[in-house]
Chains A and B, each alone.
Chain A
Amino acid sequence: EPEVTQTPSHQVTQMGQEVILRCVPISNHLYFYWYRQILGQKVEFLVSFYNNEISEKSEIFDDQFSVERPDGSNFTLKIRSTKLEDSAMYFCASSAGTGHTGELFFGEGSRLTVL
């Protein structure tokens, strides 16, 4: 069964360092998303991406965040200068898009720990 894969599964970084989280969405999907879940809290929307551009972003997704689809398969989330409060689980998701039943498929997540 097709699945969304994320790497790394866990990354530890120092405050102020840049981090790139990688995702490989399901191959025929068109819409891509990043979500964040701080430990013990709800799953929060960060950004959605379609046709090589951001379609929507939340207020959490400030200038330190960026997303990119550098090739036909990867979808990345970059955090430019990490802060302690960026420590969270980051989930990538993809969706087939229009004409389908609207299900987002999620990856297993990348746990980011900022020290």
Chain B
Amino acid sequence: AQSVTQLGSHVSVSEGALVLLRCNYSSSVPPYLFWYVQYPNQGLQLLLKYTTGATLVKGINGFEAEFKKSETSFHLTKPSAHMSDAAEYFCAVGKTSYDKVIFGPGTSLSVIP
């Protein structure tokens, strides 16, 4: 079975500071990994994904994540937080290109001016 844990249900950063949202996964097969963002009262938008190949993946809005197999991690980072980054962030894991994804519990990011 696959699962995802996200350390920290709530993270606060100052505007301009580094954003680091942690994600660890469990998977019996090479995983497909995703970060989704959910703005208030909106749907789920894909930030970035890892399927195969380069372990450092870049996404939209300046976010990137690095797949570390030895640590079973897929942490999300952004060098400089912006007020518009305040949202809920979900890490997710899948098994194939068409299988369901399993979501982590989410991390709520607040950006302090």
The judgment on whether A and B are partners is yes
Which residues does chain A contribute within 8 Å of B36, judged by CB atoms?
106
B interface residues, tally (CB under 8 Å): 23
Check if B43 sits within 8 Å of A102, measured CB to CB.
no
Which residues does chain B contribute within 8 Å of A56, judged by CB atoms?
100
Which residues does chain A contribute within 8 Å of B101, judged by CB atoms?
45, 104
Check if A106 sits within 8 Å of B34, measured CB to CB.
no
What 1/0 flags go to B26-39 for Cβ under 8 Å of A?
00000010101000
Q: Which 4 A-B pairs have the closest CB atoms?
A: A102-B97, A108-B43, A106-B44, A43-B103
Alpha-carbon distance between A84 and B64 when the two chains are bound, in angstroms: 40
Given A43-B90, A102-B94 in contact, is the A48-B49 Cβ separation under 8 Å?
Answer: no
A99 at the interface (CB under 8 A from B): yes
A interface residues, tally (CB under 8 Å): 29
B111 at the interface (CB under 8 A from A): no
Residue of A nearest to B52 (CB): A101
State the Cβ distance, B76 to closest chain A Cβ, in Å: 16
State the Cβ distance, B64 to closest chain A Cβ, in Å: 17
Alpha-carbon distance between A98 and B102 when the two chains are bound, in angstroms: 18
Check if B42 sits within 8 Å of A95, measured CB to CB.
no
